[in-house]
Amino acid sequence: MSTYGYLAVFLGTLLEGETVLLLGGYAAHRGHLSLPLVMVVAFAGSLLGDQTMFWLGHRYGRRILTRWPGLEPRVARVKPLLDRFGNVFALIFRFFYGIRNVTPLAMSIGGFPPRRFLALNVLGAGVWAAVVSTVGYVFGEAAEAALPHTHHYQLVGLVAGIFAVMIFAIVRRVKTS
């Protein structure tokens, strides 16, 4: 866990996010990872993933939608939210499951200013990484209080959970490709 845990958090937040970061916070509670480092790694993964999607949308937006028509309805769902909530939505989109990964693409296709996206993305990624990893950490405390004698199974479950989420994220990405 200590060897590959941070890499798993980075890749998980680069590709998907929430579940891997919750598990990373939980691993920090168990003492396998450092919570501040989990937050930093998650921030970097989320920021890099979303900036990459924004750049790809800015550079190849319509071609991407033509190549992967299944993305079009998801991009269309983001537009009204962006029109209505603007900068606020750019800060909090990570907290909306199902549109998190496509939002930077939709924003860039819709003409959202790149510098503003970068600034809001930095702030949003920081808040998201801190909040979600802390929830995972607190969940670990609650689970330990509720089930005090299961600690020897928790590491196995944690590792299995991280790999399951990563495989799920990869399969989902391949299906939308």
pLDDT at 70 over 90: no
Which of 109, 111, 103, 51 lies closest to 78, judged by CA? 103
pLDDT at 49 over 90: yes
pLDDT at 79 over 90: no
Which of 7, 28, 43, 40 lies closest to 137, judged by CA? 28
Backbone angles phi, psi at 94, to 5 degrees: -65, -20
Instruction: Work out the average pLDDT over 92-120.
Output: 89
Instruction: Work out the average pLDDT over 99-124.
Output: 91
Q: Residues 6 or more apart from 122 whose CB is under 8 A from it?
A: 47
Which one of 18-32, 115-129, 153-167 scores highest in mean pLDDT?
115-129
- pLDDT value of residue 167: 81
Q: pLDDT band for position 95 (50/70/90)?
A: confident
pLDDT at 50 over 80: yes
- pLDDT value of residue 48: 95
pLDDT at 147 over 70: no
Which of 46, 48, 50 lies closest to 112, judged by CA? 50
Q: Tell me, what amino acid is at 33? A: L
pLDDT at 3 over 80: no
Q: Residues 6 or more apart from 73 whose CB is under 8 A from it?
A: none
- pLDDT value of residue 164: 77
pLDDT at 155 over 80: no
pLDDT at 146 over 70: no
Contact 46, 60 (CB under 8 A): no
State how far the alpha carbon of 100 is from the alpha carbons of 16, 27, 138, in Å.
8, 24, 23
pLDDT at 117 over 90: yes
State how far the alpha carbon of 46 is from the alpha carbons of 55, 101, 145, in Å.
14, 10, 31
The whole model's pTM is what? 0.77
